[in-house]
Amino acid sequence: MSDLFRRRFRIRLRLAQREAIAFYVFLIPWAAGMLLWTFGPMIASLVLSLTRYDVITPPKYIGLANYAHILQDELTWRALKVTAYYTVGSVCVTVTGALLVATLLNQDLPFLGMWRTIYYLPVVTSGVAVSLLWMWIFQPNFGLVNNVLWTLFKIQGPEWFFDTDWTIPTFIIMASWGVGGPMLIYLAAMQGIPTALYEAATIDGANRLQSYIHVTLPMISPAIFFNLVLSMIGSFQVFTPAFVITQGGPHYASYFFVYHLYLHAFNYFEMGYGSGLAWVLFLVILGLTLLVFRGGERWVYYETGGR
């Protein structure tokens, strides 16, 4: 009996060793790619942020001069202000809009699969194509929105992207185009809620709205938190719409931070300064993400670990 046990133990040990070897073999390409194409460029950009580098001549070490310039640059603060304004609006629109759409598509509707596909399709559409589409929709003279406003309500619509007061609100409206991704995450979370919870709420006398508030929302709070963090990070990195539609205008009204970074790095060839801007953006996003995580401890519910 002991010999049989030893043989089985040795066989299992060999199988475990083979699995471990296979694991590391398959891990090597990912780890190599991570080191070469993620951590490598990050370290290089950190080093370049301490230099004056115009691509043509070799980098010249200047210490923290780039960061001092960034803090004194009025356009940097302008770009942060514009981006923060857009982030607040777009995150609210994306997170809330996706939740409403997911709630609707979680019902027993005809052609449900078709509707889910339609709402998700914009997520896989090219950002340039989407920007051009919205530019035509909000075109002041013959755009769809202003034509509808004038035809139905006799209201002369604003200039949208070309009005300093309406530029960022228009970009925020445009952000509603991307609710499909968060919607799928909400749907997955909603369909994972045990039906016994709804049955218990019904027995206790709760109506559908009360069940939604006291059962659905707490149970999908991790999904809400996940979408909130991703939407915030993505909105701070917005670039394509401003580059395609407004080029940062009018009068710096859509001068987003990544567009500011792009101009310095690829238009003015100030790679050192641009790398410094990239690290400032990283620190801003990191700080806000940590704040959101700290606040999430109070309202995010996890089945296994509580709040």
Residue-level pLDDT, tens digit, the chain, 307 residues: 567 777 787 888 888 888 999 999 999 999 999 999 999 999 999 999 999 999 999 999 999 999 999 999 999 999 999 999 999 999 999 999 999 999 999 988 888 889 889 999 888 888 899 999 999 999 998 899 999 999 999 999 999 999 999 999 999 999 998 899 999 999 999 999 999 999 999 999 999 999 999 999 999 999 999 999 999 999 999 999 999 999 999 999 999 999 999 999 999 999 999 999 999 999 999 999 999 999 998 899 886 655 5
Look at the block and give the residue holding tokens 């005809």: 110
Contact in structure between 62 and 149 (CB atoms under 8 Å): no
pLDDT at residue 109, as a whole number: 85
> Closest Cα partner for 256 from 46, 123, 75, 74?
75
Q: DSSP character for 213?
A: I
Provide the pLDDT for residue 302.
Answer: 82
| Cβ-contact 228, 292 below 8 angstroms | yes
What does the radius of gyration of the chain's CA atoms come to, in whole angstroms?
Answer: 26
**Number of CB atoms found within 10 A of residue 32's CB:** 10
Amino acid identity, residue 1?
M
Q: How far apart are alpha carbons 307 and 299 in whole angstroms? A: 7
Amino acid at position 157, single letter: G
Tokens linked to 16: 């475990």
pLDDT of amino acid 11: 81
Rounded Cα distance, 269 and 246, in Å? 21
Q: Locate all alpha helices (DSSP H) within the chain, ordered by sequence.
A: 2-34, 40-48, 65-72, 74-105, 112-120, 127-137, 144-153, 167-175, 180-191, 195-203, 208-211, 217-219, 221-236, 240-241, 257-262, 271-296
Q: Domains of the chain: which residue ranges?
A: 2-48, 65-296
Instruction: Work out the number of other CB atoms within 10 angstroms of the CB of residue 38.
Output: 10
d(CA 222, CA 233): 17
pLDDT of residue 126: 86
167: left (phi over 0), alpha (psi -120 to 50) or beta: alpha
Q: Class of 65-296 per CATH?
A: mainly alpha
Q: Residues 6 or more apart from 182 whose CB is under 8 A from it?
A: 94, 95, 98, 99, 102, 227, 230, 231
pLDDT of residue 305: 55
Question: Tokens standing for 57?
Answer: 């001549």
pLDDT for position 304 = 63
Distant-in-sequence, close-in-space partners of 222: CB < 8 Å, separation ≥ 6: 189, 300, 301, 302
Structure tokens at 195: 């039906």
